[in-house]
Amino acid sequence: MIADQNRFQEAIRRFDEVNSEDPHVEIADGISYPKEVLYAQRMTECLNRVAPDASEALQLAVRCQHIRRWAIARKDFPMDVQGYNKWRNSLKKYHAEVAGQILTEVGYEPEIIERVQFLVQKRQLKIDPEVQLLEDVICLVFLEYYFQDFARQHDEAKVIDIVQKTWRKMTPEGHQLALQLSLPTEAQELIGKALA
């Protein structure tokens, strides 16, 4: 239930406005989008499909989960596992800060802002049901829209490892939804190998 529809829509508009500054472009259905605008829209669409009654805080978190992602580049961190984890943690903190600033400006109460920031930073994964639902949505969007490109860029062993890691983060409900995605045959085969 959205407490104030105008305020909610203004927050979504501001998130999208900030993400529209993304210098990276993605084409979908012949239309060019700033990459993070398209990602945010896909996240919202997925949440609406799998949890149409999601809380206002979760709807906001889903929309701003990658806000200004391009501002902190992967190349600025060591190219190893520790560097990757440090990059991801820096991003989560940054996304939470940017989202908090926008939500404050549009008039959200501190409790909702803190909840959105908690969700965006994916605290208490596997413990907090909304954090877990956010993770399911992230994984579903990855599998539906980004997995094929990822698979083309990496060898099969790496792809299988990523699918297995993705699967471990998801709930049984998320698994069922993932298996219902209409993916191309080669993507289904890779997922099948990963889960065998």
Q: Residue 156: what pLDDT?
A: 87
Question: What is the 3-state secondary structure of 79-131?
Answer: CCHHHHHHHHHHHHHHHHHHHHHHHHHCCCCHHHHHHHHHHHCCCCCCCCHHH
- The residue from 101, 121, 141 where one domain ends is 121
Same domain, 95 and 136: no
Same domain, 143 and 194: yes
This model's pTM is above 0.85: yes
The predicted-structure confidence for 56-74, as pLDDT tens digits, reads as follows: 999 999 999 999 999 999 9
Q: What is the number of structural domains in the chain?
A: 2
Same domain, 88 and 141: no
Same domain, 63 and 116: yes
The domain of 165 spans 125-196
Report how far residue 98's alpha carbon sits from residue 94's, in angstroms, rounded to the nearest whole number. 6
Q: Is the pLDDT of residue 188 over 90?
A: no
Same domain, 89 and 178: no
